[in-house]
Amino acid sequence: MIYIHIPYCKQRCIYCGFYSTAASSVNESYIDAVCNELKIRADYLRNKKIQTIYIGGGTPSLLTIKQLNKIQNTIDKLFDLSGLKEVTLEGNPEQLTEKHLTELKNTNFINRLSIGVQSFDNDILKLLNRRHNCTDAIDATKNAQKAGFDNITLDLIYGIPGLTNKLWLENLNIIAGLNIQHLSCYALTVEDGTMLKTLIEKGKIAPTDEDQTLQHYESLIEWCHKNNFVQYEISNFCREGYEAKHNSRYWNNTPYLGIGAAAHSYNGTSRQWNISDIKNYIQSINSGIVPSTIENLSVEDSFNEYLMTALRTRKGLETNFLTNRYPDLWKATEPKLTAYINKGLMVPNAKGYHLNHKGMLLADAIAAELFT
């Protein structure tokens, strides 16, 4: 699978800790560098068939159709796409106009949209420093459907200071009327170096409330159950059969190629991440050098990463995979699971073990306790 990073945003959200730069458009020289990196690293996945492509950011909806076509044509020439199933583009509501959505659909490349709504409440959107309003978000979703997109996911954030339980449920009930296939909901986190952390430290925004966040999460789980959305990962919910194929591969320990400034890659034995600097990225790529850092993973590192990601999913830990891939580590770890089963946090299943809803709230902590 391939991930393309577009690190450009018209303005920065107060909570965002991802690498991006403020700009009204995507620099053409950056697109050229992305295409050149694709050429340089075409053998990274050892000529495997590409099943998913994800164009994320930043704000990929800032890409012009010409720029998108350039990326598409480069990928077409370099990779085996005979098994391609899903190509996702992230976008902000204010850029997903009816005209742009029709153009995106006509590329016959993008078949899934991820729309960064975050909230349907205008006051919350202003707090988060988003550029769109509630009407923009609803219109973008409906216009996407009108353009022919039938695989749409919306992002929402909960645990935001000022987001009451009533407002949170109102957000979810708007979703109910939009007939989408997938929903990603994330608890607001306070990242170092973000405007949000600075504002909280200065007392201009209330700190996040763990109890409030937990209530929002529990309301979300109940709402999804009533509205036929299946939770298949801590933050991801879908109609049956509409799991995000690309993201699911991250959680299943599948190798992937990450292209662009700040993009990460994984080939099964090492992780690699590109420099978080657009100017230096472009200069290095134009010189034929990928400006990246490589970390070779030990068996223990790989085992721990699998625990971290698998415990976040509905599938959970698969015994056969662990026995075959990490026999000694798994033999030492499996007996420790009894404690979580006894506490009502984990349950056995046909293939191994998974966390229940209560356990999922503690997934990262449980994984850390199991690390070798």
Strand segments, DSSP code E, in 190-243 are: 230-233, 236-238
**What pLDDT, on a 0 to 100 scale, did the predictor assign at position 254?**
87
Length of the chain: 372
pLDDT for position 192: 86
CATH code of the domain in which 112 resides: 3.80.30.20
58 and 191 together in one domain: yes
CB 157 within 8 A of CB 118: yes
Identify whether residues 235 and 130 lie together within a single domain. yes
Is the same domain home to 139 and 245? yes
Contact 132, 115 (CB under 8 A): no
3-state secondary structure of 131: coil
Query: Can you give the pLDDT at residue 232?
Result: 93
pLDDT confidence of residue 292: 96
282 domain residue, yes or no: no
Q: Flag whether 309 is in a domain.
A: no
Q: What is the pLDDT of residue 111?
A: 97
Residues 198/146, Cβ–Cβ less than 8 Å: no
Say yes or no: 50 and 177 in one domain. Answer: yes
195 and 66 within one domain: yes
One domain for residues 172 and 75: yes
> Does residue 177 form part of some domain?
yes
C-beta of residue 315 within 8 angstroms of C-beta of residue 58: no
Q: 81 lies in a domain?
A: yes
Which pLDDT score is estimated for 357? 85
* Distance from C-alpha of 196 to C-alpha of 161, rounded to nearest angstrom: 11
Q: Are residue 244 and residue 321 in the same domain, yes or no?
A: no
Flag whether 289 is in a domain: no
- Residue 114 belongs to a domain: yes
* pLDDT for the residue 249: 84
The domain in which residue 230 lies consists of: 2-251
Consecutive 10-residue runs of the chain (372 residues): their mean pLDDT?
94 80 89 98 89 94 96 96 96 95 96 97 93 96 97 97 94 95 94 87 90 94 95 94 91 90 93 96 97 96 93 94 95 96 95 92 92 90
Tell me how many domains the chain contains: 2
User: Does a structural domain hold residue 150?
Assistant: yes
| Residue where one domain finishes, among candidates 207, 230, 251 | 251
Same domain, 245 and 355: no
Last residue of a domain, one of 215, 235, 251: 251
Query: Do both 163 and 59 map to the same domain?
Result: yes
Domain boundary among 213, 229, 251: 251
pLDDT of residue 277: 95
> Is 229 among the domain residues?
yes
Q: Of all helices (H) and strands (E), which one includes residue 12? A: none
